[in-house]
Structure 1
Amino acid sequence: MTIRPLLGPVLGIVTLALLALPAGADTSQTRPKAVVELFTSQGCASCPPADALLTSLASKGDIVALAYHVDYWDYVGWEDTFGDPTYSDRQRAYAKGWGSTRIYTPQMVVNGAEGVVGSRRDEVHDALDGVSLPLDVTITQSGDMLKIDVPANRALGNAVIWMVSYLDRADVAVEKGENAGKSMVYTQVVTGRQALGMWEASTGANLKLPLPAVLNDGSTGIAILVQKERNGLPGPILGAATFER
């Protein structure tokens, strides 16, 4: 699976050592119950209801919502302004991990474990009913640094720590394709992904990231995801947290 560079040389600054938090640092965060990843496209006529539903889910305090714009609808005549082949590859990797070759839009993936049609509100809410993330992840700002803490939990097994940057809102006038002539509002638009390192279940991890480098591409927020891998394919998401400028 191809990983799109997000921070480049900043990885050399990431610290996996234990970090002392300054007095007065605010670490109060609510553990989200779910990460919802929407695979969508500006060229897909059936996607706007799913885009709107993701916006609604993002307003809930217990859901991390992310919109991956795929590129395989570009052939209809409109090149998605946020489309990226690596996001299409991520969707394919999920499908392969579930023993399928079929991908489609709009699709929502819940906690890396289940895919549902993203425009079917009842199915989405059914998929979210009773779910939870077993691992606490906290993000604390200290000056121009972000400190990320992922505690140990031997019962869960090792996983990968990902950073996903996103744009909270974008207004797009679609000129061609199935949504031609429409002015669309998109939220939680993924702008990049990068693996930061491994989370070892026996020791946990603490990371330190320079904020100016994290949000230097016009993005307004980041999500930290701790996700298992199975034979190089994405597996269940164990924990998540977000930070917005």
Structure 2
Amino acid sequence: MRTPFAAIFVLCLGVSLLPPAARAQQDPVVVELFTSQGCASCPPADANLARLAEQHDEVIALALHVDYWDYIGWPDRFAQSAFTKRQKGYARAGGWKTIYTPQVVVDGQHHAVGSAPDQVAALVARHAATPAPVELEIAREGGTLAIRASAAAGPVGPVDVHVVRYADSVEMEISSGENAGKRLTYTHIVEEWDVAARWDGTGAFDASVPVAGPSGVVVLVQKADYGPILAAVRLR
């Protein structure tokens, strides 16, 4: 993850700034796939992530390409060390013994093998039945993203507000690793991940942050130190 936005304006207002037509979908399930272009087990997981997002409106799919296969000569065009750090952070917070590709983390709480669709679907169904404790809205006007959050049923404690930019789909030929020579399609590819602000989880939180380019935008409210994701919304 990169440094917080330099130009962020946090407003403590009691009235939403967001026009109703621009409000994003409420209470989806966030599915993070830690994947790599060099990993032979990953293409089925990549395809499963795409199917989940296509078939289930409540799923926000995010593919985070890790860089720990790069050192053996299997570079991933989309890999970032920040995504490896995020995966390791989940493992520490959850007491998991290992990280691997393809690994799925659902709502920041439970993990499964990304190429095991039944396991992933069961976790998605479990989390879809749980109401979000934070109400979250976002709207975009030009190069500015407005964010508003409020605790639905009382204070939730310190949380981080994350802003994620992702590409819908890229098709490319893989030049190295276990998938060398294959032409594969990747979807929901995370390009940027910023921690925009820390919120104390009480009252209302309002902010405006700069966003540039055509990429899709996701905002997450997540308990500090790789805790549960309490709310998420998406604008395409």
* Equivalent runs, 1:7-86 vs 2, <5 Å: 11-17=5-11, 18=13, 21=17, 25-59=20-54, 60-86=56-82
1:78–1:174 Cα contact (<8 Å) kept: no
1:139 corresponds to: 138
* C-alpha distance in structure 2 between counterparts of 1:145 and 1:114, whole Å: 33
Question: Cα deviation per residue 1:100-127 (whole Å; 9 max; x = unaligned)?
Answer: 3411010000000001000001000111
2:27–2:58 Cα contact (<8 Å) kept: yes
TM-score with structure 2 length normalisation? 0.89
1:118 corresponds to: 114
Q: Report deviation, 1:142.
A: 3.2
2:235 corresponds to: 243
Distance change in 2, residues 1:76/1:30 (3 Å)? same
2:40–2:179 Cα contact (<8 Å) kept: yes
* C-alpha distance in structure 1 between counterparts of 2:88 and 2:143, whole Å: 36
Distance change in 2, residues 1:140/1:76 (3 Å)? same
Question: Cα deviation per residue 1:201-241 (whole Å; 9 max; x = unaligned)?
Answer: 2222111123xxx234xx61121110002xxx301000011
Of the three residues 4, 19, 35, the one matched with 2:2 is 4
* C-alpha distance in structure 1 between counterparts of 2:57 and 2:117, whole Å: 18
Distance change in 2, residues 1:159/1:117 (3 Å)? same
CA RMSD of aligned residues (A): 1.9
1:53–1:119 Cα contact (<8 Å) kept: yes
* C-alpha distance in structure 1 between counterparts of 2:25 and 2:206, whole Å: 18
SS at match of 1:235: coil
The share of aligned pairs that are identical, in percent, is 38
* C-alpha distance in structure 1 between counterparts of 2:96 and 2:105, whole Å: 14
SS at match of 2:51: helix
1:55–1:187 Cα contact (<8 Å) kept: yes
Q: Report deviation, 1:31.
A: 1.3
- Number of aligned residue pairs: 229
* C-alpha distance in structure 1 between counterparts of 2:79 and 2:121, whole Å: 26
Q: Which runs of 4+ in 1 moved over 6 A?
A: none
* C-alpha distance in structure 2 between counterparts of 1:152 and 1:79, whole Å: 42
2:91 corresponds to: 95
* C-alpha distance in structure 2 between counterparts of 1:56 and 1:135, whole Å: 27
Unaligned runs of 5+ in 1: none
TM-score with structure 1 length normalisation? 0.86
2:135–2:151 Cα contact (<8 Å) kept: no
